[in-house]
Amino acid sequence: MHIVSAVAALALALPTAAGPPGPEPRQVPPGTTARPILSAGEAAAFVPENHLGFSGTYTDPVADPWRPPPIRTPHRPDLVVGPHGFADVQDAVDAAYRDGGTARRWIAVRPGTYTGTVFIPAGTPPLTVYGTGRARDVRLEFTIDATVTPAQWAALVNPDGRYAEGDPAWPMYQSCATKTSATAGLCATVVWAQSTDLQLKNLTITNTLLDTVDRGTHQALALRTDADRTQLEGLRLISRQDTLLANADDTRIARVSVRDTYVEGDTDFVFGRAAAVFTGCTFRLVSSRKSSGGVIFAPSTHPGYPYGFLVTRSRIVADEGYVAAPTGRLGRAWDQGASATGYLPGITPNGQLVIRDSHLGAGFDILAPWAPAATTARPFSAPIEPGRSLSDVHHNRLWEYANHGPSAG
């Protein structure tokens, strides 16, 4: 049985939950080849229970339901960052790693600004890192641009021996410091997590490169997650290009649940290969660095796997610059790794995304909300014929259902 059919069959056995109705949608299936709309029957497959319902490999997924409850915080944390505690978050993460065990550890971060990177290595016990004040008052910040060389990256990230041989995060640091590529690439992130069952809550994470550079390509990640069962709640993630990377390797499924989180940027600022569900989030496209053609989502889903990004009951908005000249795009596929070959159907990642039951504010291109693919510039195309396949590798997999608001069409 084909992998898509196999996963679909498994998905039928998973329970699903219907949410309360939203405003009356104006979107009519099947839409157009430039703006495809799902029918109710087609949309029924794209629910959190399915996107988060499988683990294992893309070629042999197994049913593994994961519906994380809201993140709870204890009256008394295990570790504290701030006055009378650790000086920075990295020190607390290192301490939790060294404590070992399999029980969850809680790190409370008191209000303040903490400058520097935070690397959370694989093998860290289940960890909850949370701010004790308002999210905007607990700030993790650093300025780093992916255009720097690996040597420059190492000097920026580790000027005072923050990472040293024998430290838990040393292998992560070394993997970037010793790269042979011309630039630091996706190592240019403020917080980088490789640990399973990580929870982050009530924090602002900002790559403060922001508008200090031109409108060209300047990847500047705020948060990168690489592992399965990552839970993000009540965060503020701020940068310009590539703010949030929900990452996974090219063989194994990694799941990410994002709730009640604000994400800001101007280019591909929610991207990656993970199976991720965004619920009750706000995505804001800004024009302060780049005044036209901004893009929000850029999934790079495995071509044989049916579940990439799901955005539900969220708000997608733009600032005044885009409202005045509506050229914003909801997203594009990221044809990851295909710069030399071009898009190869069934081999190159084919980003999968459904935006449903969400508010689309003004500022976006109503007739063509999906841009050509990143890396290859593959033109957007979608099937609209009866009985269409939603996993046709010869077309894009970027869809909408029951959205509302000025840019809903």
Q: pLDDT digits over 298-316, tens only?
A: 999 999 999 999 999 999 9
Q: pLDDT digits over 135-164, tens only?
A: 999 999 999 999 999 999 999 999 999 999
Residue written as tokens 């991207």? 271
Query: Which sequence spans correspond to the domains of the chain?
Result: 3-68+229-401
pLDDT at 61 over 90: yes
Cβ neighbours for 25, distance < 8 A, ≥ 6 positions apart: 357, 401, 402, 403, 404, 408
pLDDT at 17 over 70: no
pLDDT at 20 over 60: no
Tell me the two tokens of residue 249. Answer: 């390797």
Question: Partners of 54 in the beta sheet?
Answer: 63
| CA dihedral (325, 271, 153, 93) positive or negative | positive
Residues annotated as catalytic (active site), given as ranges: 268
Per-residue pLDDT band for 26 (boundaries 50, 70, 90) equals: confident
Tell me the two tokens of residue 163. Answer: 């990472």
Indicate the angle between helix axes 170-177 and 150-157, nearest 10 degrees: 140
| CA dihedral (350, 355, 360, 366) positive or negative | positive
pLDDT at 373 over 70: yes
- The answer to whether the CB of 203 falls within 8 A of the CB of 120 is no
Residue type, 297: F
- The answer to whether the CB of 244 falls within 8 A of the CB of 223 is yes
d(CA 3, CA 69) in angstroms, rounded, equals 29
pLDDT at 106 over 50: yes
pLDDT at 15 over 90: no
pLDDT at 71 over 90: yes
The arrangement of strands across the sheet holding 315-318 comes to 112-115, 138-142, 204-207, 236-238, 262-265, 282-285, 315-318, 359-360
d(CA 53, CA 41) in angstroms, rounded, equals 19
d(CA 36, CA 39) in angstroms, rounded, equals 10
Angle, CA 360 vertex, CA 209 and CA 406 arms, to 5°: 120
Nearest to 280 by CA among 320, 339, 235, 328: 235
Cβ neighbours for 1, distance < 8 A, ≥ 6 positions apart: 9
Q: Which CATH class is domain 3-68+229-401?
A: mainly beta
H or E stretch covering 172: helix 170-177
Nearest to 248 by CA among 104, 354, 349: 349
- The answer to whether the CB of 119 falls within 8 A of the CB of 173 is yes
pLDDT value for 22: 55
pLDDT at 5 over 70: no
Strand 54-56 with 61-63, pairing: antiparallel
d(CA 278, CA 130) in angstroms, rounded, equals 19
Nearest to 99 by CA among 119, 84, 116, 79: 79
Segment 87-94 mean pLDDT: 98
- The answer to whether the CB of 298 falls within 8 A of the CB of 334 is yes
d(CA 310, CA 316) in angstroms, rounded, equals 13
